[in-house]
């Protein structure tokens, strides 16, 4: 395969800078980091998110893939091409082989809809791809430097289980996961508390916000940071975002070799990490024009697309609860991406109406829609009735938004007649919702069911700084 012999100059390694510094010319260069450093930094010191300072053109690499190129082929060649000074060819391949012991699957539902199934990993959701790659990157550095680190993360359920599985038994890395007592599902709680070994679950007597506050607070304590070597595996970490771009490229390549028609990716979105990763793939040369943003009742991004006004608000609980986000963290990355596009088109960054230019650029790459809980239920029932298949509530947001938009004049104007919907979670993860709607029993895959035979173990912690620090000392000592 040609792809493996693809080479770039070492000096071309992608570097990252805070979204909040990218236009402050006088500071450019100052906060610029290589990939692995940006991974360990997590959030930029100024509160911004890491974003590539330059885009490498990988279009030659993409068209060099043949019809048998595997997900590992795509991910390792992209890793190598993006970060040649961090990983040589065999390191890139080793990294991806360790991270991805699971893959994606394309599943054709009908003429109009194909699902890109991203739930074949250990926690049954797409977050496994990002978490697993991040864990392997961190393991490599820890191994090389012989230092031990502690990952500290707060979860409302889904992120924690992907992180727990990804870091399980990683040498030199301890993981502390804080979750709100009584507010995660029984299956989610088991995924956090049953693994043991280097995975330590803290059951916090408080809300998810309390958990996040405890984590933030710990990261501001330099002494504590030093002592335990604290690092974050947060969903805003660039080390989780980059690998999510790989499955867009892999799916595009598979569809290209099948001569599928004029299709568009549709992404069920909450924090918009997944969708941002698709647009990064486009910036790196993937020949797609638009992606569809599919939102539940939390509709800030579809409203922005319509009006040009971005108004974050409090999140609303829905059936697609992993997408219940009122202020999507990756909007800052999207805004940066389209601001850079606007500047490239000649817009003046300091102009009063620069926001309009950003909005115009956004519309060249995105279209979207929000749907209600009632519609989610109807869509799950519709897919079950017509295809005898279960889809999770998040995927249902994607299939319905796709069907609606494909019927719009917008799709006709751009020639789209098919959608590839990112299927973000296994239906069994949300079996209660689906059983309610379909009246049938959803079988639970073994990799989830096994948790019910294991012993849960958690440290109960009051939501105060002192109680938390004491518990940390006891566990990590
Ligand atoms: C996290 C999650 C989403 C939302 O992904 P973002 O990258 O935050 O937009 C969608 N579906 C499922 C099942 C998830 O776990």
CA distance 452 to 191: 9
Question: Is 228's pLDDT higher than 90?
Answer: yes
CA distances from 27 to 20, 21, 238, 363 (A): 11, 7, 21, 30
pLDDT in tens, 355-375: 999 999 999 999 999 999 999
Which residue owns the Cα nearest ligand 1 atom 1? 322
CB 247 within 8 A of CB 116: yes
Place of tokens 């995927």: 395
Taking the centre of ligand 1 as the mean of its atom positions, its distance from the CA of residue 325, in whole angstroms, is 10
Which residue owns the Cα nearest ligand 1 atom 11? 424
**Residue 30 banded pLDDT, cuts 50, 70, 90:** low
Phi, psi (rounded to 5 degrees) for 58: -105, 15
H helices within 292-372, ranges in order? 300-307, 331-344, 354-365
Query: Residue range 396-407: average pLDDT?
Result: 98
Taking the centre of ligand 1 as the mean of its atom positions, its distance from the CA of residue 80, in whole angstroms, is 27
Give the CA dihedral 127, 133, 134, 136, nearest 10 degrees: 140
Q: Tell me the two tokens of residue 401.
A: 């938004």
Phi, psi (rounded to 5 degrees) for 462: -70, 150
Q: Tell me the two tokens of residue 288.
A: 């797609």
Question: Is pLDDT larger for residue 3 or for residue 39?
Answer: 39
Q: What per-residue string of b and e applies to 231-263 under the rule 16 or more CB within 10 Å gives b?
A: bbbbbbbbbbbbbbbbbbbbbbbbbeeeebeeb
Strand ranges in 184-305 using DSSP code E only, listed in sequence order = 199-205, 230-231, 263-268, 291-295
Place of tokens 């002592």: 227
Q: Tell me the two tokens of residue 366.
A: 């995105």
pLDDT reported for residue 137: 97
**Residue 235 banded pLDDT, cuts 50, 70, 90:** confident
Question: Is 234's pLDDT higher than 90?
Answer: no
Question: Is 385's pLDDT higher than 50?
Answer: yes
Question: Is 8's pLDDT higher than 70?
Answer: no
DSSP letter at 418 equals: E
Of 218, 94, 181, 174, the residue nearest 469 (C-alpha): 218
CA distance 330 to 272: 5
Taking the centre of ligand 1 as the mean of its atom positions, its distance from the CA of residue 273, in whole angstroms, is 8
- Arithmetic mean of pLDDT over the chain: 93
pLDDT in tens, 409-460: 999 999 999 999 999 999 999 998 999 998 999 999 999 999 989 999 999 9
3-state percent breakdown (helix, strand, coil) of the chain, nearest 5 = 50, 15, 35
**Residue 25 banded pLDDT, cuts 50, 70, 90:** low
pLDDT reported for residue 421: 98
Residues with CB under 6 A from ligand 1: 125, 127, 158, 268-274, 322-323, 394, 424-425
Taking the centre of ligand 1 as the mean of its atom positions, its distance from the CA of residue 396, in whole angstroms, is 13
pLDDT in tens, 88-102: 999 999 999 999 999
Mutational test site, ligand 1, from 128, 265, 267, 274, max ligand atoms within 8 Å of CB: 274
3-class SS of residue 175: strand
CA distance 397 to 378: 10
* DSSP secondary structure letters along 226-254: HHHTEE---TT-HHHHHHHHHHHHHHHHH
Question: Is 27's pLDDT higher than 80?
Answer: no
Which residue owns the Cα nearest ligand 1 atom 8? 271
Taking the centre of ligand 1 as the mean of its atom positions, its distance from the CA of residue 206, in whole angstroms, is 24
| % of residues, the chain, pLDDT over 90 | 84
pLDDT reported for residue 277: 98
Phi, psi (rounded to 5 degrees) for 471: -65, -40
CB 21 within 8 A of CB 27: yes
Question: Is pLDDT larger for residue 45 or for residue 244?
Answer: 244
Question: Is 250's pLDDT higher than 60?
Answer: yes
What pTM was estimated for this model as a whole? 0.94
List residues bridging with 263 in a β-sheet. 418
Packed helices 186-193 and 158-167: angle between N→C axes, nearest 10 degrees? 30
Question: Is 37's pLDDT higher than 70?
Answer: yes
């Amino acid at each position: 395969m040609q792809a493996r012999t693809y080479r770039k100059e070492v000096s071309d390694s992608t570097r990252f800078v805070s979204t909040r510094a990218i236009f402050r010319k006088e500071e450019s260069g100052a906060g610029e980091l290589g990939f692995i450093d940006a991974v360990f930094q997590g959030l930029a010191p100024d509160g911004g998110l890491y974003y590539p300072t330059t885009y490498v053109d990988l279009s030659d690499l993409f068209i060099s893939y043949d019809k048998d190129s595997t997900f590992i082929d795509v991910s390792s060649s992209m890793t190598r091409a993006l970060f040649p000074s961090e990983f040589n060819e065999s390191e890139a391949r080793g990294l991806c082989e360790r991270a991805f012991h699971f893959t994606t699957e394309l599943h054709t539902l009908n003429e109009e809809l194909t699902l890109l199934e991203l739930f074949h990993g250990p926690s049954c959701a797409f977050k496994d791809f990002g978490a697993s790659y991040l864990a392997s990157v961190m393991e490599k550095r820890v191994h090389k430097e012989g230092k031990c680190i502690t990952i500290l993360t707060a979860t409302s359920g889904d992120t924690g289980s992907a992180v727990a599985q990804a870091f399980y038994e990683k040498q030199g890395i301890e993981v502390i996961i804080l979750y709100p007592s009584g507010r995660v599902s029984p299956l989610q709680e088991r995924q956090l508390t049953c693994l043991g070994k280097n995975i330590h679950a803290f059951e916090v007597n408080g809300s998810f916000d309390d958990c996040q506050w405890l984590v933030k607070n710990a990261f501001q304590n330099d002494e504590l940071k030093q002592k335990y070597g604290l690092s974050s595996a947060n969903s805003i970490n660039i080390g989780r975002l980059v690998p999510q771009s790989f499955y867009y490229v892999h799916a595009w390549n598979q569809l290209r070799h099948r001569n599928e028609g004029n299709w568009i990716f549709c992404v069920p979105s909450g924090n918009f990490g997944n969708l941002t990763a698709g647009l990064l793939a486009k910036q790196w040369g993937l020949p797609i024009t638009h992606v569809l943003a599919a939102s539940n009742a939390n509709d800030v991004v579809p409203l922005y697309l319509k009006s040009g006004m971005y108004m974050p608000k409090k999140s609303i609980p829905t059936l697609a609860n992993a997408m219940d986000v009122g202020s999507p963290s990756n909007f800052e990355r999207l805004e940066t991406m389209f601001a850079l596009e606007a500047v490239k088109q000649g817009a003046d960054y300091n102009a009063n109406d620069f926001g309009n230019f950003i909005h115009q650029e956004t519309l060249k790459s995105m279209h979207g829609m929000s749907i209600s809980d009632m519609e989610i239920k109807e869509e799950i029932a519709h897919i079950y009735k017509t295809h005898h298949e279960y889809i999770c509530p998040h995927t249902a947001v994607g299939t319905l938004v796709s069907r609606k938009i494909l019927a719009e004049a917008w799709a006709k104007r751009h020639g789209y007649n098919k959608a590839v919907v990112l299927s973000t979670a296994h239906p069994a993860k949300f079996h209660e919702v689906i059983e309610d709607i379909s009246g049938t029993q959803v079988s639970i895959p073994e990799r989830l069911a096994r948790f019910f035979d294991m012993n849960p173990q958690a440290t109960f912690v009051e939501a105060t700084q002192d109680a938390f620090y004491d518990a940390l000392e006891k566990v990590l000592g």
